[in-house]
A = this chain, B = another copy of it.
């Protein structure tokens, strides 16, 4: 096992491996070869073996990987052996859809509150969650030790709201607003913008 930092591009693939292993476990599979994983994921088996080798010895010669064992190991590596509370900022279409997404719980996440600045939304309930005044966000984040936020506010509000969240202790933001946030280096940001994905694909359509 190397003591050098694992390249981020490798880290980015670990959740994919975990998702495949979870599906395999559900279907009763106990062992899987890197070749089967490769077919399942569209990633080469050499790449999979190399990625996993960053974290130790997993596969058994001729047996492949023990599905349950590798899955548990990946969960620990990704710090999913606990439950992460998340706040959703912005209770519009995207924020509401994200808050209602049933898949988070099984992935180690729990959306615990929504925030908005619209008086018509504050105090209402969306997907069983209370919509709070965004001005109370810092207090909530501190009180509940929240480290993760999903940001689904209009682009023009995103930077200032992100700064508010970070000032209260948020360390990672999944950003749905269509802009590049400028935040301190210790804050992780991942962006989801469907338009960018579509534009990436139209390049090839011509």
Closest chain B residue, CB of each to CB of A178: B103
Closest chain B residue, CB of each to CB of A105: B195
User: Can you tell how many copies of this chain the complex includes?
Assistant: 2
Closest chain B residue, CB of each to CB of A150: B194
Closest chain B residue, CB of each to CB of A172: B201
Chain A contact-residue range equals 35 or more
Contact of B197 with A192 in the complex, beta carbons under 8 Å = yes
Distance of A179 Cα from B30 Cα, bound (Å)? 19
Contact of B94 with A199 in the complex, beta carbons under 8 Å = no
Interface flags for A89-104 (1: CB within 8 Å of B; 0: not) read 0000110111011011
Chain B residues whose CB sits within 8 angstroms of the CB of A86 once the complex forms? 198
Q: Could you pull out 18 A-B pairs where Cβ atoms are within 8 angstroms?
A: A11-B200, A15-B196, A40-B180, A79-B205, A79-B206, A84-B198, A84-B202, A93-B96, A93-B97, A107-B198, A109-B198, A148-B201, A172-B205, A174-B194, A188-B201, A188-B204, A190-B200, A190-B201
Residues of A within 8 A of B (CB): 11-12, 14-16, 18-20, 23, 40-42, 77-80, 84, 86, 93-94, 96-98, 100-101, 103-104, 107-109, 147-148, 150, 171-172, 174, 178-180, 182, 188, 190, 192-206
